[in-house]
């Protein structure tokens, strides 16, 4: 059984699609998988034991036919994207059965449930979504000599999801006597991480490492898997932390926490304000005040930190 899967584009969505993929494999227990998608998504899941081939999808429309032809024939094709480009690509894919996720058919559910229901509806099965599954590293039971706290100030969706560097720094400074500190971020978020670093240095905090822009996807997963606590906005790294059951304080502003909160992590606490304007689902605050994140205080996070211990 040969199966082609087009992955979601974003890191967090790719983590959240893993229970649905496991249900596909549960149904077709002799399957071999080929993955196609963005660089980030394919890097995250290329180590899965059932994955035999990985290809980064070229965004150019003119290349879709040649890519599909080179991939060969499949028994089943699942696309977890609903874009126009993905619909064109589906047309060219050589497969006996083709299934494509339609975001308009699955609403008001956690994203993990949306993907799982799509697979159930496609295959006429009724499997429940299980835990998030990443095969990049195995979490060990060994304790860190000194506990490690990760802070992740970025968020690829847009500036509206981001808490402020100086507030992240205040939390880190407050807890620096108890934890080593790791600052996470993509290459595009180096400036945010650097702002935090400057605050730490100013206050004499030296037991930190700034990893922003310096890790591969596998290295990011490995570093997060070793954390004792994680503080993050709604982001891909937040979902990676959930896959390892890392105690997490998740800061939510413009997005639906019931749709993109950590899946099946009993050690997760959501910090948010219940404003009339949220969740707006906008990349930038349409009201120009950003109160959904601005009103989250350092004291709110420290209070959540105490309760998560």
Mean pLDDT by 10 residues, the chain (309 residues): 97 98 96 97 96 93 93 98 96 97 96 98 98 83 88 83 96 98 96 97 98 96 97 97 97 96 97 96 94 97 93
> Would you state the pLDDT for residue 59?
81
Q: Are residues 119 and 153 in the same domain?
A: no
**Residue 158 within a domain:** yes
CA distance 250 to 240: 12
CA distance 253 to 91: 38
Q: Are residues 119 and 152 in the same domain?
A: no
**Residue 132 within a domain:** no
- 52-84 burial, b at 16+ Cβ within 10 Å, e below that, comes to eebeebeeeeeebeebbeebeebebbbbbbbee
Range of the domain at 7: 2-123
Q: Are residues 118 and 250 in the same domain?
A: no
Q: Are residues 186 and 274 in the same domain?
A: yes
CA distance 76 to 4: 6
Q: Are residues 196 and 283 in the same domain?
A: yes
Which one of 80, 107, 123 terminates a domain? 123
Q: Are residues 163 and 290 in the same domain?
A: yes
Give strand ranges (E) for the chain. 2-6, 32-37, 51-56, 73-79, 94-100, 148-152, 180-183, 208-210, 229-233, 248-251, 268-271
CATH number at residue 273: 3.40.50.2000
**Residue 136 within a domain:** no
**Residue 139 within a domain:** no
79 DSSP 8-state letter: E
CA distance 178 to 183: 16
**Residue 142 within a domain:** no
Bridge partners, residue 183, by sequence? 151, 210
Q: Are residues 185 and 91 in the same domain?
A: no
| Contact between residue 284 and residue 158 where contact means Cβ atoms under 8 Å apart | yes
Q: Are residues 184 and 236 in the same domain?
A: yes
> Would you state the pLDDT for residue 74?
98
CA distance 174 to 157: 28
Pick from 12, 45, 215, 247: nearest CA to 150: 247
> Would you state the pLDDT for residue 139?
65
What phi and psi values does residue 212 have, to the nearest 5 degrees? -60, 125
Which one of 59, 89, 123 terminates a domain? 123
Q: Are residues 183 and 91 in the same domain?
A: no
**Residue 265 within a domain:** yes
**Residue 286 within a domain:** yes
Q: Are residues 116 and 152 in the same domain?
A: no
Which one of 89, 107, 123 terminates a domain? 123
The count of domains in the chain is 2
CA distance 134 to 106: 24
248 CB contacts (<8 Å, ≥6 apart)?
Answer: 229, 230, 231, 232, 238, 241, 242, 262, 265, 267, 268, 269, 308
Q: Are residues 187 and 286 in the same domain?
A: yes
Q: Are residues 108 and 166 in the same domain?
A: no
CA distance 105 to 3: 23
> Would you state the pLDDT for residue 187?
93
| Contact between residue 41 and residue 79 where contact means Cβ atoms under 8 Å apart | no
């Amino acid at each position: 059984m040969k199966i082609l899967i087009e992955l979601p584009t974003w890191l967090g969505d790719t983590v959240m699609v893993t229970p649905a993929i496991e249900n596909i494999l549960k149904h077709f227990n002799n399957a071999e998988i080929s993955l196609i998608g963005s660089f980030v998504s394919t890097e995250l899941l290329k180590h899965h034991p059932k994955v035999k081939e990985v290809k980064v999808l070229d965004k150019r429309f003119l290349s879709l036919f040649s890519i599909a032809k080179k991939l060969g024939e499949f028994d089943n094709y699942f696309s977890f994207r609903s874009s126009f480009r993905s619909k064109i690509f589906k047309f060219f894919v050589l497969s006996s059965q083709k299934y494509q996720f339609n975001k308009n058919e699955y609403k008001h559910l956690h994203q993990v449930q949306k993907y799982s229901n799509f697979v159930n509806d496609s295959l006429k099965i009724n499997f429940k979504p299980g835990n998030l599954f990443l095969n990049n590293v195995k979490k060990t039971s060994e304790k860190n000599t000194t506990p490690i706290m990760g802070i992740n100030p970025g968020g690829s969706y847009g500036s509206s999801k981001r808490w402020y560097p100086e507030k992240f720094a205040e939390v880190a400074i407050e807890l620096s006597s108890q934890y080593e500190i790791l600052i996470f971020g993509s290459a595009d978020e180096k400036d945010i991480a650097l702002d935090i670093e400057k605050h730490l240095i100013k206050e004499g905090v030296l037991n930190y490492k700034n990893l922003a822009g310096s890790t591969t996807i596998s290295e990011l997963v490995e570093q997060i898997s070793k954390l004792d606590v994680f503080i993050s906005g709604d982001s891909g790294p937040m979902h990676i932390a959930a896959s390892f059951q890392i105690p997490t304080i998740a800061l939510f502003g413009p997005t639906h926490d019931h749709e993109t909160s950590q899946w099946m992590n009993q050690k997760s606490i959501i910090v948010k304000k219940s404003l009339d304007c949220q969740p707006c689902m906008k990349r930038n605050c349409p009201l120009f005040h950003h109160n959904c994140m601005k009103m989250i205080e350092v004291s709110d996070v420290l209070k959540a930190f105490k309760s998560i211990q």
